Structure 1
């Protein structure tokens, strides 16, 4: 399977949406593919498709764009809250390594740790 990155789209607070395109499957050993989820805006609605390239009539969810903004904002806050809790837990259980562990987790999550 060939994977090539598609340019990132940035929204408020540096939240990045990324999509990867997968080339055609070749060879008989390949029995399926990972789902490729997509989000597209159609007027005031965002259409979320679980597996855009699947042939099985993938589920589609349509939400008002304003609701999607709120859901994304809530998810961003949840990730920041998780990082804070993980950092506190690392401080309790890995006091000498808490800072680098928390910083590595923040990088993996695409966040900057809170002071």
Structure 2
């Protein structure tokens, strides 16, 4: 079994020139960890900033960089579309986040392991997780009759969650170094904002 934090992607317009980015199809997933290329980090930062894009009621920034980062650096509640994707490497079955799920909500998985026993992970597909007598049953899409199903012990899911959280922290550290090179005037603030968007708290 593998579990990876994934960010739902899009790509900037061709004339985007604030920093180098990679090429992504809309609604595809980018795995967030400490091994990304600088271009992929740039794409991830752009995607998260764009998801939180906002403008002040007065004195709207005229600088394109300040305008893009404004919401990311000022919003109280940040979002990062995506979630945790779990793959059964033996069968190939995949449990992926649905629409409207976010990495900022990844700690909802703790409800599955140690709380109510279930959590919401989006729709279209509509994945469902249930804890039953020490086993977690993951249904990839409850809206179809022949949905792939993955079953694993609660202890194994706890281990996978810990690994996915480490991947997120590795990504934030990597993005912090990227920000020091690409956004030296905003590096600390951007790194802290990414940590908040990924429900990590202190980025250190």
TM (norm. structure 2) is 0.40
Task: Point out 4+ residue stretches in structure 1 off by more than 4 angstroms.
Answer: none
Give 1 or 2: higher strand fraction. 1
> Structure 2 stretches of 5 or more lacking a match?
1-99, 101-106, 112-117
Which residue in the other structure is 2:126 paired with?
Answer: 36
Distance 1:35 1:112 in 2: 29
Which residue in the other structure is 1:49 paired with?
Answer: 139
Q: What SS does structure 2 have at the residue aligned with 1:74?
A: helix
> Structure 1 stretches of 5 or more lacking a match?
22-32
Cα shift at 1:9: 4.9
1:76 to 138, 160, 165: 165
Q: Alignment length, in residue pairs?
A: 93
Cα shift at 1:114: 2.9
The root-mean-square deviation of aligned C-alpha atoms, in Å, is 2.7
Cα shift at 1:18: 4.9
Distance 1:10 1:79 in 2: 15
TM (norm. structure 1) is 0.68
Larger radius of gyration: 1
Q: What SS does structure 1 have at the residue aligned with 2:124?
A: coil
